[in-house]
Structure formats: structure tokens, C-alpha cells
A and B are shown apart, each in its own frame.
Chain A
């Protein structure tokens, strides 16, 4: 029996979220006394044996030209074949862009219950109960999976990557691979240097910045912190910033290690998208801004004066 972890990659580079999923899956295998195994589809430029550092013992590598671009229907059938042959009783995905399409499909195909967006290891003391955030982070739920085979997708940034000595056996897997029905005809990189959903640090700004021309100071701080940029909904709606930077209940939900909110009052819908951040810093000149109630650290002050000073202070502490 095994715990099978899907390893997601983009253009051959394994995504950070996959390293989290590998660590998480290996820990589940430790709990259940099973072997942690991984499945990789398509060509990868990295050393797959090194995935053993996260605790997986075997990597099933399926290669086919048809797998070099992502198609959830094709991928699902291949992952199901690997899962069935390796006797997987738990299949782990990251709840990232690929996992959101794959985990539900694989669950149906394997007649397995799914918990999408797990935030902690399952409790196996009485069944298999997985914790996840619900009501847009305003509550947590415990969800019992009742089927023999179980599928779990792990929220991005919800589990710390651990590495140790270890090498995995890399085994080619011969699967039946269908021709994809979808065709990728283009791709673009978003303006930020760091992926918003995967970022450890996110610097975000709102209407308090008064206009798109004032974003340079926010970008400078983000650059200094190696952070992704984000914004509140009114800012995206006014087209000051692209919609793919809008974080909040109706935009993108994030859970970085550090979230810095500049000139954002903290409407309940905004909080619902960022409240899983580990540390929240709020900079706002209005001391009554509701965001201060959800913040860990705050500065009541004018962003135009405070933010450049923070950038300088970060430079100093980082020795730049």
C-alpha cells in the first residue's frame, strides 16, 4: 500500500507547492505505516531521485509527448493507472492551479472521497479526518473521508517543506495515454516577479495609495522583500492594477508567511482572502480601520512617509 503524491511542474521545473505536498504525503505515510511514492508526468529537468529528500521512496515517471502540456482529462486517467497499480490508498495533490482541476477528477475516477484545501495532517486516530479552512477562512472544519481510497489536496503554504538525506528510486511507468482534447496556444507571465499564490511574503495596497502612479514605492518594498504584489478589490476594479493581483474573498485567497497591507481598510471580504496569512502588518492613517483588529503589527501613519522608510530599514537588516 502506498501514499501517492502528484508532483506538479511548469516547463520542467517542479513547483514549490509540490515540495510541500511531497513532505505532507510522506508524513501521512509515516502515520499510516505505508510507503510514500510520487508520480511525475512528462519531462522534468530536475533530478527526480532527489525527491527522496522529502521522504518518498519511489517516483513513478510517465513520459509521453502528450503529457508535456497539462490536460486534466488525460492526466487523470494516467494518475489513476499509477494509483491503482501502486495500491495507493491516499493520493495527495497540492491545491494549486493543476491540483484544483485534477484532484476532483481523480477522486471521482477512483471512487474516492476528497478533501480539497487541507491545512493540516489528517487525524487517523478514529477514521481519516482532515482539517480545512471554510467560510473563506472565517472557520475551520474537520471532514471525515469515508471511502477506502482517499484524495487530499493540500493548501499552498499550509505545510512546511522538510528535507533530509534520501534518494528515491525512479521507475518508468508505462501508461495508456490519450490524446489531449485541449491545446495550449499561449502563455503569459504576470507582472510580478514572484507568484502570488506561492509567495512567502505579499505586499498589498489599496485605495489609500490614491492612484496607480503611486505604486512604485510598493514595488520597491516588494522587491526588497522578494515579495509578490497584490491589491484590494476597488483598486483592481478601477484598473489601477491587474485583476490577477486582487486578493480577497472574490479574488485570490492567499496564505503567505507575511502579508503587508498598505492603505487597505480591511473590509470583511478582503479579510476573508488573506486571513490565513501567518503574520499580518497593517499600515493605515485611519486608526479606526477595521484591519487593525486582524493585524499582528500595525503603524498608524501616512503610507507615503512610512513605506519608503520601511524599505530602507529592510535594506539595512538584509545588509544591502
Chain B
């Protein structure tokens, strides 16, 4: 089986969020970059588990990003990817990224990615990629089993879960439940240095949307503390002031 895992570079989960250039650009100074957690912890690790169960499986990685994305690609290779493709372009929006990935995502049995990135939170690349490849798409999957050419996938729905059977090939976006996060070991880190990393020049794709400005949310007014001996007061405030109950 041939698996493609799409990964993105995102700011570390604890990164300070600020903007520059008149609030039109994310302030990158001092930011630690990581593999988008949903891509790494769930999509990539599940792919590695599938390879461990069937040694004939190969895992390719794809990302859209400049040369500064290479440390996160090497980490993904250290975790267990076999080879990587980097489309040499700065990601601007979901469609641009999906269209670049579509050019290298043909011929795989399984295309996995995280349910969304933790920076732009669009969650759109998987669906766009599936449509561009004319493949079935299961979003927000929590479990994936493969038997022969059939995938059995659980996905979250409002108030429950659905179990779906689909013939490969398929595109699946992954979330918590799919796998348990791992850390690369020294052997993996050493091996990753020599694994192939192909740099591909981008296709000429026009973006359909543009991030025009950013703002930080308004600061909270401050917490109103209520004595633990007077919880009636808390409930009254929630009822009368916040109108929340």
C-alpha cells in the first residue's frame, strides 16, 4: 500500500500570537515551528502503524513550504516516513495548498492529513484535495482500519460516531483517537538524514481568498470572583447578568 501524508509547518502550540505590517502578517520572530499536531500525532503516526503491520507499505510525505519547512520534514522522516516532497512555495490559502498537493497526490491508496492546521484552522485542504483527485473523503476520522483494499473509518458526527466502509483510494482527515503521539528515536533521526527529500517547483495557481488583516480578541474585563460559601450568588450572576442559564 502507498500512503501519502500531507504535513504543514505551524507555530508551536504555546507560541505568542502577534502581527506586524499594520496587522497584515503573523509576527514570526522568535516563533518555534512544529509539524501541525493533527498531521503528526494522528495522520503520520497512524500511517506508521499501518506500515508496521504491513512492511510492504510505503509512506511518502508532502508539504507546501519554503526551505525553512525542511526541519519539520526531516522530523517526519525520522518518525517513519520513507521519502518526502516539498512544493517550493509559501502556502497562502487552502485552495493554493490543495492544488499544489493534488499535483503530487495521484496514485496513492491512502492520503492522510490532520483535520485542520492549528494556525489558520480552515480544515479545508483535505476536502479540496479529494475533490481535485475525484476521490471519496472522510473528514474528522477517529479510527482507521485497513483490510485488503477496504478502509473502515470512524468519523465524529454531532452527538455520536459513524463507521464507514470505503474502497481505496480515499482521502481521510485525522483527529484525536486515530493514534497516540510518538517521539522520534536516535536511529530514526540518523536515518532521516539520508532519506530522499524532493523539491518540486509549484504549479501556477491563483489564490481565491486573501487574508487582509488580523486582530487579537478584545481583552477580558477580568474575572469576577465569588466566595465558595455563596454559590447562590454565582448562579444569580449567570442567570441575571450573563444570561447564560
Contact = CB atoms under 8 A, between A and B. Distances in A.
Interface stretch (A24-32, A46-54, A59-67, A305-313): A305-313
Interface stretch (A83-91, A165-173, A208-216, A274-282): A274-282
A114 B95 contact: yes
A299 B234 contact: yes
Interface residues of B, number: 80
A292 B41 contact: no
B158 A297 contact: no
Contacts of B231: 299, 306, 309-310, 313
A133 interface: yes
B158 A15 contact: yes
Contacts of B130: 72-73, 105
A104 B208 CA distance: 12
B215 interface: yes
B235 A112 contact: no
Contact of A272 (B13, B225, B228): B13
Contact of B224 (A197, A272, A297, A316): A297
Contacts of A134: 119-121, 214
A236 B181 CA distance: 14
Contacts of A111: 208
Contact of A182 (B126, B136, B234): B136
A108 B14 contact: no
A187 interface: yes
Interface on chain B toward A: helix, strand, loop, or mixed SS? mixed
Interface stretch (B54-62, B76-84, B236-244): B236-244
B213 A141 contact: yes
Interface residues of A, number: 101
A297 B17 contact: no
A140 interface: yes
Contacts of B118: 135-136, 249-250, 272
A268 B223 CA distance: 17
Given A10-B158, A104-B131, A136-B118, A181 B136 contact: yes
10 contacts: A72-B139, A134-B119, A135-B121, A183-B165, A185-B165, A243-B176, A249-B118, A278-B242, A281-B234, A297-B223
When A and B form their complex, which 8 residue pairs have the shortest distance between CB atoms, in order from nearest?
A301-B228, A104-B127, A113-B208, A195-B159, A258-B244, A186-B163, A104-B124, A101-B139
Interface of B: 11, 13-14, 17, 19, 37-38, 41, 94-95, 98, 115, 118-128, 130-132, 134-140, 142, 152, 155-167, 176-177, 207-217, 220-221, 223-228, 231-232, 234-239, 242, 244-245
